[in-house]
Amino acid sequence: MKKLINHPDDVVTEALRGMEQAHGDILKVNFDPAYIIRKEPKKGKVAIISGGGSGHEPMHGGFVGLGMLDAACPGAVFTSPTPDQMEAATKAVNAGAGVIHLVKNYTGDIMNFQMAADMCASDNIKVESIVIDDDVAVKDSLYTAGRRGVGSTVLTEKIIGASAERGDDLAAVVKYANYCKDNGRSMGMALTSCTLPAVGKPIFEIGDDEIEMGVGIHGEPGRERMKLKTANELVDMMIEPVLSDKGLKNGDEVILMLNGMGGTPLIELYLLYSRAVETAGKKGVKVVRSLVGNYITSLEMQGFSITLMKAGGDILKLWDAPVHTAGLRWGI
Amino acid sequence: MKKLINHPDDVVTEALRGMEQAHGDILKVNFDPAYIIRKEPKKGKVAIISGGGSGHEPMHGGFVGLGMLDAACPGAVFTSPTPDQMEAATKAVNAGAGVIHLVKNYTGDIMNFQMAADMCASDNIKVESIVIDDDVAVKDSLYTAGRRGVGSTVLTEKIIGASAERGDDLAAVVKYANYCKDNGRSMGMALTSCTLPAVGKPIFEIGDDEIEMGVGIHGEPGRERMKLKTANELVDMMIEPVLSDKGLKNGDEVILMLNGMGGTPLIELYLLYSRAVETAGKKGVKVVRSLVGNYITSLEMQGFSITLMKAGGDILKLWDAPVHTAGLRWGI
C-alpha cells in the first residue's frame, strides 16, 4: 500500500489537526469525540450539521463555515461517525433555533443520525433530519436501502447554509432542504479503485481496460462493468439518466457539478464538463451555475460524477450568497 | 491507458472550452493561438503573463483573473507553449504600463518566452522576464539548466498580481517578483508516475514500495529513488533542505503551500501539512498563511510538494488582497 500516512489508526486525527492549523480562521476541531465546528457561531441561527465517513474530503469538514455547515462529524475512513459524535456536535452548535441533520442515505449514517436525534430530543433540542438520496445509478446498494446519497449533498449544504445564514427559520430551511432533496440527481463512474488505509488493498478489482459505470463513493458496484469509452460517450451515458430521472426539460435551468473522485486530473474534469454542458444544452437544459473539481471524493479513486440540480425559485440567490469554508469560498 | 479523454490531440482544446464555459465570468479563451485572458482587463495596469505545458492545472489558466494573472499560455501537455502564443497574449493584455513574463525555469519555456519578448520589443512593448527556479531538489535536471521552477510560481503569481492590481508601476511589480524569486523554495516527491495522453504509458517506472524523492513536475528524476517512508519522515526529509537553502531561521514568518501532485487524497495533504507546520515550528519558523490542495500538478501523479516563502515587508498585505480566479478566490 502506497499512502502518505503514518499509521492507519492516526490518519483521521492527524488530518483534522492539519485542517485546524490550515483553517484556524474558519473552524475549530474537537478531537474526542471528533467534530468540526464553525469558529464564530452566529446567534439565533438554525444550525446545520452533516457528517459521514472520512475519505471524501473536502466533504464534509471542508464545508464548515459561514454560509454553509455549522458542524461536521467525520467517521473513520468510509465508516459512519457515531451517535455520540453527532450528539456532541449538535449540542455544540445548537443556538436555540432548531438543528438540521443532513444525512446521506447509507444504512450506518441513517441509523446513527437517528440515534443522535433521539438523544438530542431527550435534551430538548429540536432536530429535523433530511436524507439525501440522489444517486440514480442503482435502486439499492451494498450499504444502502434505496438510492445512495452523493453529490447533491454538497449543493444542498451550500443552499440551505445560505438560507440559515440569512436568518430563515427552521421551517423555511427545511423547505429548501426538501427542495434540494427533490431536485438533485447524480451519477458517477470509476476508472480505478482506491485503498483504505486500514485494509491495505484496493476495495475492488478492475481490469486495465474496464470501468465501473454508476459506482458509489465507497466503490459500491454500479450499473455495469464495461470497457472504457471516450469521454464524450461516458458523459452522455451518465447525463441522460440524470436529466430524465427528474424529468428535466427544455427551458429548465440547472446547477451542474462535475466532480472528480479524488485522483482525476483537473484537465480531464474541464473536458468532461464541456461535454456535459453541451449535451444538456441539446435537450434545452441550461447550466447557469457550476462547480468543477474535487468536492465529494473517494480517496485516490480516478473517475467522476455528474450532479444536476434544478434551479427554480430563489435557489440561485442562495447559491450566490457569500460562503467562507475551506472547500468553497466566494463573496467574502 | 485509462484516461477520461476523447483523442490525445484534442485534450487541451476541449479542456480550454470547458474552462471558458465554467468560468465565463472570469476569463476568455482564444483558441488559435491558444491563450486565456482575464475577461475584464484593467486600464493602465502592469500586465502579468505566465504559461507552460498543460497538465499542471489549475496552474496557469486557473490563476487568470482579478488580482493574479492577466493571461496564461497553455502548451500541449508537458510541452512549452510557442512564442506566437506568448506574443499574441502579450499584445492582447498590454495596457501600456509594461508587461511581465513570469517563466518557470525549463529550457523550452526560457527559449520561447525569450523569443516572444524579442518579438514584443520590436512591437514597442516593454517586457520584463522573471525566471522562477525554486526547486532545491537538484541543481540541473532533465529539461533544465539550473534549478527547476515549481511551486513558488503559484505564490509569486498571487503576490505580484496583487501588486499590479493596486496600481504599482512596472519597477515596483518587478521588485516584488524578484523578492518572490529570491525568497521561495520548494521540493517534491512522487509515489506514482503519470501518463501523457499522447504517449500512453507512464513517464517513468517505479516499484510498489518505492518513491522518487525530489521529483520534478514532469516526472524528472530527483535526488534519490528510495523505499516508502512514513508521512512524518517524508515531510521532515523535504522541509529541512527547503528551510536551510534560504537560511530560514528562528523568528521568520512564512507562507507554506502543501501541494498535491494531482492524484493525492486531500486527507493525506492535511496530514502532511500538519507535520510541516510542526517541523518548521521546531526551528522557530512560523507558518502565517497557507495553501493546502492541488495547485501545481502533474496529471494524476500521486505525491506532494512543499513550498515555503519568507513573508517579509508587505508581502502578507499583497497575499491577503482580493483574488478572483478559477483556482484561487478570496475577498470578492
pLDDT of B190-223, one tens digit each?
999 999 999 999 999 999 999 999 999 999 999 9
pLDDT band at B117 (very low <50, low <70, confident <90, very high): very high
Q: Mean pLDDT, to the nearest integer, of A160-178?
A: 98
Is residue A142 predicted with pLDDT exceeding 90? no
pLDDT tens digits along A31-55: 999 999 999 989 999 999 999 999 9
pLDDT tens track for A62-97: 999 999 999 999 999 999 999 999 999 999 999 999
CA nearest B189 in A: which residue? A4
Q: What percent of chain B has pLDDT over 70?
A: 100
Nine-digit cell at B227? 523505499
Q: Do B15 and A263 touch (CB under 8 A)?
A: no
Which residue carries 525530489 as its cell?
B214
State the pLDDT confidence band at A141, using cuts at 50, 70 and 90.
Answer: confident
CB contact under 8 A, A274 and B55: no
pLDDT confidence of B142, banded at 50, 70, 90? confident
B87, B324 Cβ separation under 8 angstroms: no
Question: B4-51 pLDDT, tens per residue?
Answer: 999 999 999 999 999 999 999 999 999 999 999 999 989 999 999 999
**Beta bridge mates, A224:** A213
Domain boundaries defined on chain B: 8-183, 184-330
**Residue A150: what pLDDT?**
98
Mean pLDDT of B132-141: 94
Q: Does B81 touch chain A (CB under 8 A)?
A: no
pTM: 0.98
Residue in chain B lying closest to A325 (CA): B330
Residue range A167-189: mean pLDDT, rounded: 98
Interface ipTM > 0.90: yes
Neighboring chain A residues of B270 at a CB cutoff of 8 Å = 14-19, 22, 57
Model confidence at A59, pLDDT cuts 50, 70, 90, reads: very high
Q: What is the pLDDT of residue B177?
A: 98
Is B264 in CB contact (< 8 Å) with chain A?
Answer: yes
Reading the block at residue B83, the C-alpha cell is 512564442
Quick check: helix, strand or coil at residue A12? helix
- pLDDT value of position A143: 87
Q: How confident is the model at residue B173 (pLDDT cuts 50, 70, 90)?
A: very high
pLDDT band at residue A190, thresholds of 50, 70 and 90? very high
- Intra-chain end-to-end CA distance of chain A, in Å: 41
Note the pLDDT of residue B227: 98
Give the SS3 label for residue A72.
Answer: strand
Query: What integer pLDDT is reported at residue A260 of this predicted model?
Result: 98
Residues of chain B positioned with their CB less than 8 A from the CB of A16: 270
The tens digit of pLDDT for each residue in A205-249 reads 999 999 999 999 999 999 999 999 999 999 999 999 999 999 999
The model's pLDDT over A8-26, given as tens digits with 9 standing for 90+, comes to: 999 999 999 999 999 999 9
Domain B8-183 in this protein, CATH class: alpha beta
Pairwise CA distance, residues A18 & A14, whole Å: 6
Cell numbers linked to B15? 479542456
Q: What's the confidence (pLDDT) of residue B274?
A: 98
Does A15 contact B at CB distance below 8 Å?
A: yes
Q: What's the confidence (pLDDT) of residue A200?
A: 96
pLDDT attached to residue B14: 98
The CA distance from A205 to the nearest CA of chain B, in Å, is 15
The B residues from 189 to 248 touching A (CB cutoff 8 Å) are: 191-192, 208-209, 211, 228, 230-232, 234
Q: Which residue has the cell 479524488?
A: A262
Phi-psi region of B256 (alpha: psi -120 to 50; beta: other; left: phi over 0): beta
Q: Domain B184-330 class?
A: alpha beta
Note whether A64 contacts B: Cβ–Cβ < 8 A: no
| Whether pLDDT at B282 is above 90 | yes
